[in-house]
Every structure is written in C-alpha cells, then in structure tokens.
Chains A and B, each alone.
Chain A
Amino acid sequence: MLFQKKIRTAYIIIAVLMELMIALASSVYLKVNSISFLSVILTALIAIGPIVYFIIKHRADEMK
C-alpha cells in the first residue's frame, strides 16, 4: 500500500494547493479587503473538505 498512499498524499497536496492558488488568483479581479474576496476564499476552504474526504475514502483499486 506504500505507493498508493504516496500517490494519494501527493494528489491531496496538489488538489489543496490548486484550490488555494485559484482562490488567491481571484485577488487580481477582486479587492482583497472585500466581502467578495472573503466569499471566494471561504468557497475554496469549503470545497477542500469534500475533495480530501473523497480522495481518502476512494479505494485505489475501485475500478467503477
């Protein structure tokens, strides 16, 4: 299970970083000190939960 765990961990890190980076990139379009930017950051944080949960729960040998 070692390699599968490594792949899973690496993927979780990449997925979390991507969500956070996209949320931070929105600062180009939205004012940082605003409700809009806060909403986007909160959306990213809320989205990270189900993503991580699914990846942890998904069996690597599950083909369907």
Chain B
Amino acid sequence: MDRQKKIIINPGSSDARLTRQKLGFGCLTLTTLATVIPIFAVVIYILIKGLPAISWSFLTTFPFDGVKQGGIYPAIVGTFLLTLGTAIFSVPLGIGAAIYLSEYASESRWTRIIRIAIINLAGIPSVVYGLFGLGMFVIFLRFGTSILAGSLTLSIMTLPVIISTAEEALRAVPQSFRVVSISVGATRWQTIRRIVLPQSLPGIITGVILGLERAAGETAPILFTAASFFLPRLPNSPLDPTMALPYHLFVVSTQVPGMPVKIQYGTALVLIAFVLGMNLIATTIRSRARAHRQW
C-alpha cells in the first residue's frame, strides 16, 4: 500500500529525506538533553551532597582546626560585603553611563569609542582584572589587600554588564513618551527622572542583579586583592582583608589536605544557592515587570 503511493507521487527521495530528518531531530534532541541534563545534575548533586553539611551553626560560626571544622560564616559575610561594595561603585557609575549613552549622546565617533571600550572591558579575563587590581588598588593606591581593593576591582569588571543591560532597558522606553514630556515643558533631565528611569527600572534592576551575581561568584579578581585564607575575626573596616565564598571553596578543595568532603560540598552549596538565588530574583522581577507594563 505504501509502496504504491510512493511510486505515484514521488519516487524514493522524500521518504529518505523524512527518515534523515527524524534521525537528525533525534540527534539534536539528544544534544540538547546533553546540555540541559548536566545543569540539573550539577545542581542536584551538589544539593544532595552538600545538604548534610548545612546547619545553623555551619552558616553562623567560624571555622577552626585550620578550616577543617566549623562553619563558613566569615566567608558568607565576606562575599556579602564584597557584593555590597561592588554595588556601591558600579551601580551609580554604570547607570550614569547608560543614561548618557541612551539619553544624551548622539551617535558620534566618541560614542563609538565608548562602546568599544565597554566591549573590551567585558572581554578582559578575570585574572587580568586581578592583576590590575593588584597593581592599581593594592599597591599603587596602597589600599593593601582589602575589601576596598577587591570591591573596586570587581566593580570595574561588573561595569560593562550593568551598562549594557541598563542601556537596553532605557532604550526600550518608547520615544513618544519623551516627546510628549518635552512638549509640556520638561527639561531632558526631568523627562529622564520622571518617566524614562521609572519605566526602565525593572530592566535596570534585573541587569544589576545579574551583574552582581557574577561578581559574587568570581574568584580570580579577589585572589590578590581582597581574599584571605583564614581570618579569626570579621573585617571591621573596608581596608581589612576578608574571606569569601568562592575563594573559600577553592582553598578547601585544593589547598587543605584531609579536608572533609562534606564541608567542601556544603560550601559549594551555599555559594550556588547565593548565586542562583540572585538569578531567581532577577528573573522574577523581569517577568513581573513585563506583565505590568503600561506600554
């Protein structure tokens, strides 16, 4: 029956093509699964192996016995402080630059140079940022190994992410709003402050959170600028060095002989939870804003 149909309509080739298509689709599906399944696997595996280590004391006490026992409290605080410091420097600067590019600058040679500079900053390897931070903040400006040096280094690294997402969010606001605002006698800044910024804020916040999420998880930039292997006390000034989660994970998984595996997984879990938690917040803000948009 099938054979008869084939002879009448189209001898041979279309059947072969469809088979090839099915095979091909199958391959692609497998490939995608190969990409997606490891993501689940990684998160779930760390969850399973790390959860036993998580307890209130793990999260709130200091490590002792080298770092082989105890908690990771100072590392958590350190990452939090570094992220905060990064935000303080990179957010105003990044949003300011985005406002300049979106609302003030006209497309000229200079704006092209600015954009190329932003692209460059985005591509610099994280360890090179570490070198720069070492040379400029730790040594030249004499901040020493400190939260300040680390935050400044991380801020410059985070800047391109914030600028590009913020600029995109600003540009998404319809131009007609600006024209209407100007036509009732607003200055450019009034228009930005009262209409453009409020409307683009969710997109900007999303970008900021995603940028800070990256900064929180980076090790190389803080290796020589802020991080310390073990500190008996919490830092009490920005010029103090600090422990940090990514660096702590690096240390406990490579530099400490006889390190209990459970604590290693626990540290990894806390770090992932921190980072993915920020990701979740950013994604939620983004989708809720899209739903409530008045344009």
Genuine A/B complex: no
Instruction: Point out residues on B near A: beta carbons under 8 Å.
Output: none
Q: Which A residues form the contact surface with B (CB < 8 A)?
A: none
